[in-house]
Structure 1
Amino acid sequence: MKIHNFNAGPSILPKEVVKKSAQSVIDFNQSGLSLLEISHRSIDFIEIIERTTMLVKRIMNLNEDYAVLFLQGGATLQFSMVPYNLMNKEASYLDTGFWSFNAIKEAEKFGKVKILFSGKKKNYTYISRNYHIPNNSDYFHCTSNNTIVGTQMKEFPKTSIPIICDMSSDIFSRKLDFCKFSLIYASAQKNVSSAGMTIVVIKKNILGKIKKNIPSYMDYKIHIQNNSILNTPNVFSIYTSMLTLEWIEKKGGLSFLEKENQYKAKLLYNEIDRNILFENKIQKKDRSNMNVIFFLKEKKLKKEFDKIWKNKNIIGLNGHRFLGGYRASIYNALPLKSIQFLIQIMKDFEKSYR
């Protein structure tokens, strides 16, 4: 039975990654052991973590100035780790959605937060480009893609201070100059891996500049010194991320994926704009290529439409509980056929309504 998986996270993974990771749970590398049983300090796992680190740097085109960490606690823990390690007095933030708002709340516990832009009053339907980043801020924080509301930053500012970016829902989906960023973090259950692991890519020279007694687990420097094995890491999730990164390279890298993702998103947005029953409320220039949010213009049709798509083996299409409507998360691994299938259902629904 073909399932069309539009879940926002945990979300769809490439089929070959699922098969290989499933096999590793039964027998890892013909060792007679499950991947879930091997030691995180064994040669087998050291090879996994070193290869995964190499793949991250190669795909992002980063040099040895950067360290790659595989941590736990999701992006939520990073909301605190970033200011703990980098904030002396004041940091600048963009408030572009639910998760950036949560990051701001955590940062305010460590010092002054200057909010350069907030889209809250307009329900986060756009992202301003008209803001000034103070040079005296310790860092500038942004969220590249807003999973709940469906906006995405298409460009990033030039500034002399470190740029910190939460890329949880669009990392490895497009080609960027990753050297512009001093720290990138991403919870992995979307474009990278299974849930339970967070990638942190960090420029090492931004560390050690604050006067704080940082608890060991919250200290990036200590994690770098311990090669992400300060405590027992999520072995399975790191292995799955290695397989996914190999799949990304095999597909043609970020340039190929960017074109594919733009095409998939364009098809779906075009149908939403054309169809008399649906609407998207985001300014076109800020629409996300990862999370397409849309609404029925007439709420009375919801029960009927929900019955149709659920009976057609589509899952994960309901919007976030805070927003309602519908959310089609169209990450790297979602095939074009699933987009086309959803579009056809929307067209058929429009015809039946007429």
Structure 2
Amino acid sequence: MARAPNAPQQADRIAAPAISREDVPVRVYNFSAGPAQMPLPVLERAASELTDWAGSGMSVMEVSHRGKDFVACAADAEAALRRILAIPEGYRVLFLQGGASAQFAAIPMNLTASGETVAYLNTGQWSAKAIAEARAQEVEVVVAADEADSAYTTTPAPGSYEVPAEARYLHYTPNETIGGVEFPEIPQSHAPLVADFSSSILSRPLDVSRFGLIYAGAQKNMGPSGLAVVIVREDLLGRARPSTPSVLDYARMAKADSMLNTPPTFAVYLLGLITHWIEESGGLEAMGQRNQAKAALLYQAIDGSDFYANPVQERSRSWMNVPFTLADPSLDSEFLAGAQAAGLTNLKGHRSVGGMRASIYNAMPIEGVRALVDYMTEFERTKA
């Protein structure tokens, strides 16, 4: 292939240090809450196509988002997502920017008129942020259940709260990333159910028909940060307030196939690779079995020790984010340093909670959890 007209001559290129195989680090077990570890086969596929995608001689990041090749790529990602989630007819799938946080404001903008009532369940920092954004959108926010008194270590029991008859929707966060709290059931609601699935999307089968709207940031189980996926029932479209920005208007974005503006093309491409990886790995049924086994292994290690503790109510424990503390907090720094040296990274708990947190999303293999448990056992043996 001919050199591009403006490509620099070899002598003009910025010199890069030579790297031998010995200098290449071994991949670690990355327990980050997000951006999170991604499946190695997906990264290797993306690396192999980085400079020549689909025979184009360009990266997928360089092709036109309106060209037929990328339009087909986006359609394939949506089709695979629909298959693995078994999304019913009558729902639209949107690929949006701004992460899940942009949807905190977009949801009331699209589903309510000024002054109407909405209901929220508050189980942690992310639902609290969604509540704050909703209040800024001139709606009457009813917090039907508030778990702040438990320091966000619980979820409300079914039947323990009421959703106002006039509520336009009920919003909840199925999995709170920071506190490691997860709803063990889907709440009942006469109003359309709206849910922030950022930390648990694609981790197990899900009955999408129970929801009016599902949204999720991609950076846990669906790819890199920046992309948000919204799955919205069609009868909820077309209600946006006139003041809603066009890129946050679900109906306008649906009509434009999420390409009203330039979409996050690389993130959409990676979402497609990840959905195919899930299909090839047995689908969401198999993914759920693996995730349940990983969580059970880690909780068993914590519960079987007097040295470690998990603060979350047992029925409300997350499969995806497992916080734990040491009996002696003065050992936290030493624990984290030793873990880092052992190739177990990003285990420090959120600054608002402290302690440790292991995020074990889809891409974390059970071998990584076993390595963490082995390290925890040895650390306890030498420090207890």
Question: Is 1:14 matched with 2:39?
Answer: yes
Structure 2 SS opposite 1:37: coil
| Counterpart check, 1:79 vs 2:104 | yes
Report 1:1-354 matches (<5 A).
Answer: 1-88=26-113, 89-110=116-137, 111-129=139-157, 130-209=160-239, 212-354=242-384
Superimposed CA distance per residue, residues 230-275 of structure 1 (whole angstroms, 9 cap, x where no aligned partner): 1101100000000000011111111111111111000000101112
Superposition deviation, residue 135 in structure 1: 2.5
**Does the C-alpha gap of structure 1 residues 322 and 172 become closer, same or farther in structure 2, counting only changes over 3 Å?**
same
Letter of the 1:102 partner, please give it. Answer: K
Secondary structure, counterpart of 2:238 in structure 1:
coil
Residues 161-217 of structure 1 deviation map (CA, whole Å, 9 limit, x = unaligned): 110000001000011211101111000011011111110111010123465442212
In the superposition, the TM-score normalised over structure 1's length comes to: 0.97
What is the alpha-carbon root mean square deviation over aligned residues? 1.2
- Distance change >3 Å, CA 23–CA 350, structure 1 → 2: same
Quickly say closer, same or farther: Cα 1:208–1:36, change in 2 above 3 A: closer
Structure 1 residue 93: Cα displacement: 0.2
Q: Secondary structure at the match of 2:171?
A: strand
- Deviation of the 1:337 alpha carbon: 0.5
Check the 8 A contact 1:264/1:339 in 2, yes or no.
yes
Give the Cα–Cα distance (whole angstroms) in 2 for the partners of residues 262 and 185 of structure 1.
Answer: 22
Whole-angstrom CA distance in 2 between matches of 1:249 and 1:70: 20
One-letter amino acid of the structure 1 residue matched with residue 30 of structure 2: N
* Divergent runs of 4+, >6 A: none
Deviation for aligned residue 1:26:
1.2
Q: Structure 1 stretches of 5 or more lacking a match? A: none
Cα shift readout 1:130-189 (whole Å, capped 9, x = no counterpart): 112223100000101000000011111222211000000100001121110111100001
Aligned equivalents of 1:257 and 1:331: distance in 2? 10
Query: Is the Cα–Cα contact under 8 Å of residues 348 and 355 in structure 2 kept in the other structure?
Result: yes
Offset at residue 350 of structure 1 (A): 1.4
Per-residue deviation, residues 303-334 of structure 1 (Å, max 9, x unmatched): 32222111111111000111111010000010
Any idea what SS the aligned residue of 2:172 has?
A: strand
Contact 2:171 2:194 in 1 (8 A): yes
* Partner Cα separation in structure 2 for residue 58 and residue 303 of structure 1: 44
Percent of residue pairs identical: 39
> What is the CA–CA distance in structure 2 between the aligned matches of 1:338 and 1:185, rounded to whole Å?
28
TM-score of the pair, normalised by structure 2: 0.90
**Paired AA for residue 79 in structure 1:** F
Contact 2:329 2:355 in 1 (8 A): no
| C-alpha distance in structure 2 between counterparts of 1:128 and 1:14, whole Å | 34
Please give the per-residue CA displacement for 1:44-80, whole angstroms capped at 9, x wherever unaligned: 1110111111112111112330110110001110000
In structure 1, how many angstroms separate the alpha carbons of the residues matched to 2:362 and 2:205?
A: 13
Q: Return closer, same or farther for 1:210/1:135 CA change in 2, 3 Å cut-off.
A: farther
Look up the equivalent residue of 2:102 and give its one-letter code.
Answer: L
The count of aligned residue pairs is 354
Given that residues 191 and 333 in structure 1 are in contact (C-alpha distance below 8 angstroms), is that contact kept between their aligned partners in structure 2? yes
Q: Is the 8 A contact 1:174 1:255 kept in 2?
A: yes
Which amino acid is 1:98 matched to? Q
Q: Which has the larger radius of gyration?
A: 2
Whose helix fraction is larger, Structure 1's or Structure 2's?
Answer: 1
The aligned counterpart of 2:23 is: none
Shift in Å, 1:335: 0.6
8 Å Cα contact 1:182/1:206 also seen in 2: yes
User: Secondary structure of 1:26's match?
Assistant: coil
Structure 2, unaligned stretches of length 5 or more?
1-25
Query: What displacement does 1:18 show?
Result: 0.5
Between the aligned partners of 1:273 and 1:213, the Cα distance in structure 2 is 51
Partner of 1:202, secondary structure, is strand
- Give the letter for the 1:41 counterpart: R
